[in-house]
Structure 1
């Protein structure tokens, strides 16, 4: 009996099944590209977040820290929040606004906008992973159903119901389901992992935002003049 290989099953499959396999192959390439990209960006974000928070906690002067990070072009998460918040504070101070609530509100909006921008960048393409994880098994199943139907139609034409005549057609059909699962499983796992990472970053950014606003409020409360020059 001639040995059946995965490659031969794919190459000998009917055109509709091959189209399904090609679609799933594209899904797999795209999803793995997203996985590697997100893995890299989120790992860097977590590392830079930890690094900046240590700098912030150990810094004796927020002005010196601001000057140090202002020349950096790779600010992310909490570092970018600190830069945006203090930049907004300096703009408001230079504009002559002295009302504490107004200053705090402006800084809070700057922090919120930065958080939204950061989260959008990390959440980008995650929905694609979720979509691939959801639809790939069904697309593979479509190929399987078509392949089995094709195999039984061919069997009805030959009139010989033997295992040797049915097995290749059913096997090539089941390959489509296997490929669909191969696409869906890593896509779903990566989506859950990255979603959890983004959620943790979001919590840390909001926590830092609260700490930063408290710092600004303390500075404003301690000021005895109309100048909020820090």
Structure 2
């Protein structure tokens, strides 16, 4: 074509020969060297620790906090349950009326109390302890002496508390015979014995209740 000139660049001046490819290769190698120098084990451990601090540790703290809350709730529930039980006892009016009694001293006095009585302190002074009831007969010259003043058969009733026994006596009944009848019939509540006190008429019949107190008094009655 007239008037147009074409200029072909030489190989040495061409920007497409060698320089750009060689430059690209150096860049890739440089990047590999940088990456290898950064991703050491120490760096990985540091990244792992940082990741745990950000993500794992907050979750662990939340779990611990919830566990403590559950323990506190359990303790509060137990306390409330105990309070309800105690309140139920207080709310029950019969519980408020209950009374107990205690006696201090020699042990010779016992006491009982009924619900609802006023609270009080009672002091007792014991001047004499109850004793067994006892009797003695007039004197006889021997154990085989007959009872005097009896002209016909009679029935002698001895009573001690709820126990009673009938003794058959007559003109021929001896002192020893009546003792045996009493012991055979009422020996569990009454003791009959013959004691020689000395002297001409020293043999006497002794009757004693086995238990003390007013309810164990010896009572006599004669029929016939």
TM tier relative to shorter chain: under 0.3
Greater RCO, CA 8 A, separation 6+? 1
Q: TM-score, normalised by structure 1?
A: 0.22
Q: Considering only CA atoms, is the larger Rg found in Structure 1 or Structure 2?
A: 2
Q: Which has the higher helix share?
A: 1
In terms of fraction of residues, the more strand-rich structure is 2
Q: TM-score with structure 2 length normalisation?
A: 0.22
